[in-house]
Amino acid sequence: MRQFKYISAIAAAILALCSCNKFLDRYPYSENSSESMFKSATLAESVVTGVYSNLLYDYSSTDRAVLNWDSFASVLDPQEGIVNLNYNYLFGTLQPNNSMFSQYWKRFYEGINRANDVIGNIDKVPDMDENTRQLRKAECIFLRAWYYYRLNALWRGVPIYTENLAPNEYVRPRDSEEDVWRFIIESCDQCIDCPVMPDRYQSGNTNYGRIAKGAAYTLRGKAHLWLKEYEEAEADFRKVGECGYTLFKGTYADLFLEKNEKCDEMIFSVQMVEETGNGNAFSNNYGNYCTTGYGKYHHYLNVNFIESFEDKNGRPFNWDNYIPGYNSMDPAARSVYFLRNGMTDSEKTAMSTAGADLSKYDPAGNEDRIKAAYKDRDPRLAAIAITPYSTYTGGASGSAAIYTSRFPYRDWQAPYLDLRYGNNTYMFYPIRKFVTSGREYTNIGYNPVDVPVFRYADVLLCLAEALNEQGKWQEAVTYVNQVRNRAGVALLNAPGNDYVKVTGKEDLRSRIRNEKKWELACEEQVYLDELRWGTWKQDKFSKDNGLWNVWGTPVYKYIWGGDAYLKWAVPQAEVEKGGLKQNENWN
């Protein structure tokens, strides 16, 4: 609903009334301000808008200090210029007093406190009709549960507050991880049991953008997955389909265009407009120098992730299938295959000095040879990544222009029109997904494409996971295949295709996890799944992983900091107050 894309003047006035303690911001804080804002339906609605507006934080900021959750996951790598400043969690140097912990603890609890204000006070509004009152309360119960979901996934046990208190009263000990999951499930129960909450809102409905039952079933199912309650999770994910959600019928790439942002696949999305602070900043943060407004290229796609994408026929990708002997070569030597046609003598000298085996250089066909390795891959790869010698339509010059990812880089301006993304002494995999094409949007840093939080493809893969973990792997295959069919890749268990033959539960488990990454990359969902699966350490830190050139030479490598990192540290200031016990190994 477009009204959620703005904080109204009234809501802005509420912010001016806010007070806070060091980590638990109130919205509003004082009893008087709460009472004053619930004396009319108009004022109360503005407070509800404030609860929704807190969702914007992750998606509408161009501040590099706002973390991208997929850069914690195995699918993205932070840019070499910011990784030490903002992602030292990936270098084993983080201490429990790091501002990252307090920043997100505070931010999630702020969302909880905003929701608690509505839940605790909306019954006092004299001129609000009963149906609206029930809906708004249920919506805020869901949003509160959503913030507890994120807190619990990161900290594994946090204090549960269902009402707002004076600053000195926030001293509850941590509730157990299981108790928080149970609280989230019970909260979703309340939403689902709300008699006036619809199953979903369709595009064109004036309430589109508000929480509906489909979102509550999805969140409850995810909480059951954390508890390994697979039968209950299965039931919830089936209910989402019964609410009327379906896969988008077009291509994967078209799903993320503004014209399709309200399709039946979107269950819960953050509403955006092309306006500073209220728009989708992914285009800026994921974009490259040629993107309208000059993208910040804060993140790149991980090389191991790119190489995990199968061929269209389901065959696992292997460089040797395209360039025999590639895998056995020294990474610097095989950079030769990524070089542009018609290199100058000085470029050849520089690449030879850097270790490229120029005996394998084809001055007229080098580009076509490497492009063949990407041509027949899973189409989601081309929708997510700008691969070597593919094109991207940018608009930073003031008009739309087609740029090509080439190496060695020469110039982003004519006549070369090479793709520029910051430090072009390297060759990376820039992001295409969510990034503005041409002059489609002209706001510097923001576009109006809504950001999906829950969509039906994820639900289908969650349903497949729940079935598979119960041993129903043959049935689970059918739900994975719905996602693969839309993607345009060979279906699992297709007759006569050994590449896609599923051999059992363990085999399908790894296939589902890969499918989730290919489907959800750049949507900030994968990190929490990797934590839940218990694979994050292996997925992010194995194989000397880090930011690599596309041919495999490292720019930097990740360093595992110990098992303490599997859970976030409770903010040191909270521990020092004496109320909360620190997570193991952080002391």
Examine the pLDDT at 8 and tell me if it is beyond 90: no
Torsion sign across C-alpha atoms 10, 62, 156, 173:
negative
| Residue 184, both tokens | 């989230």
Examine the pLDDT at 274 and tell me if it is beyond 60: yes
256 touches 426 (CB < 8 A): no
As a whole number of angstroms, the distance between CA 553 and CA 31 comes to 59
Distances (CA, A) of 481 to 265, 382, 463, 475, 511: 16, 20, 12, 10, 11
Q: What is the mean pLDDT of residues 7-20?
A: 37
Instruction: Dump pLDDT digits (tens) for 251-273.
Output: 999 999 999 999 999 999 999 99
Q: What is the pLDDT of residue 560?
A: 95
| Residue 45, both tokens | 């609605």
Q: Residue 24: which pLDDT band, with cuts at 50, 70 and 90?
A: very low
Examine the pLDDT at 302 and tell me if it is beyond 60: yes
As a whole number of angstroms, the distance between CA 201 and CA 545 comes to 42
Across the chain, mean pLDDT equals 93
Examine the pLDDT at 48 and tell me if it is beyond 50: yes
Q: Residue 27: which pLDDT band, with cuts at 50, 70 and 90?
A: very low
Q: What is the pLDDT of residue 32?
A: 40
Count of Cβ atoms closer than 10 Å to residue 316 Cβ:
12
| Residue 181, both tokens | 């999951």
Task: Report the amino acid identity of residue 33.
Answer: S
Examine the pLDDT at 20 and tell me if it is beyond 80: no
Q: What is the pLDDT of residue 95?
A: 87
Examine the pLDDT at 29 and tell me if it is beyond 70: no
Examine the pLDDT at 431 and tell me if it is beyond 50: yes
Q: Is the peptide bond before 159 cis (omega within 30 degrees of 0)?
A: no
Instruction: Dump pLDDT digits (tens) for 195-233.
Output: 999 999 999 999 999 999 999 999 999 999 999 999 999
| Residue 480, both tokens | 């994975």
Examine the pLDDT at 511 and tell me if it is beyond 80: yes
Name the residue among 83, 56, 59, 54 with its Cα closest to residue 71: 83
Q: What is the pLDDT of residue 21?
A: 32
Percent of the chain having pLDDT more than 90? 86
Q: What is the mean pLDDT of residues 132-159?
A: 98
Mean pLDDT check: name the lowest of 165-174, 270-279, 350-359, 401-410.
165-174
As a whole number of angstroms, the distance between CA 478 and CA 305 comes to 25
Name the residue among 129, 146, 148 with its Cα closest to residue 45: 129
Q: What is the mean pLDDT of residues 222-247?
A: 98
Q: What is the pTM of this model?
A: 0.94
Backbone φ and ψ of 193, nearest 5°: -80, -10
365 Cβ partners below 8 Å, 6+ apart?
A: 341
As a whole number of angstroms, the distance between CA 272 and CA 331 comes to 42
Q: Residue 576: which pLDDT band, with cuts at 50, 70 and 90?
A: confident
Q: What is the mean pLDDT of residues 424-444?
A: 95
Question: 395 versus 35: which is more confidently predicted?
Answer: 395
Distances (CA, A) of 427 to 279, 409, 422, 564: 29, 9, 10, 34
333 touches 327 (CB < 8 A): no
Q: Residue 25: which pLDDT band, with cuts at 50, 70 and 90?
A: very low
Distances (CA, A) of 186 to 8, 109, 164, 189, 505: 32, 19, 19, 5, 31
Instruction: Dump pLDDT digits (tens) for 538-571.
Output: 999 988 899 999 999 999 999 999 999 999 999 9
Q: What is the pLDDT of residue 283?
A: 93
474 touches 282 (CB < 8 A): no
Instruction: Dump pLDDT digits (tens) for 516-528.
Output: 999 999 999 999 9
Examine the pLDDT at 466 and tell me if it is beyond 60: yes
Q: What is the mean pLDDT of residues 274-295?
A: 94
As a whole number of angstroms, the distance between CA 92 and CA 386 comes to 30
As a whole number of angstroms, the distance between CA 68 and CA 59 comes to 9
Q: What is the pLDDT of residue 31?
A: 42
Examine the pLDDT at 90 and tell me if it is beyond 50: yes
204 Cβ partners below 8 Å, 6+ apart?
A: none
Q: What is the pLDDT of residue 34?
A: 67
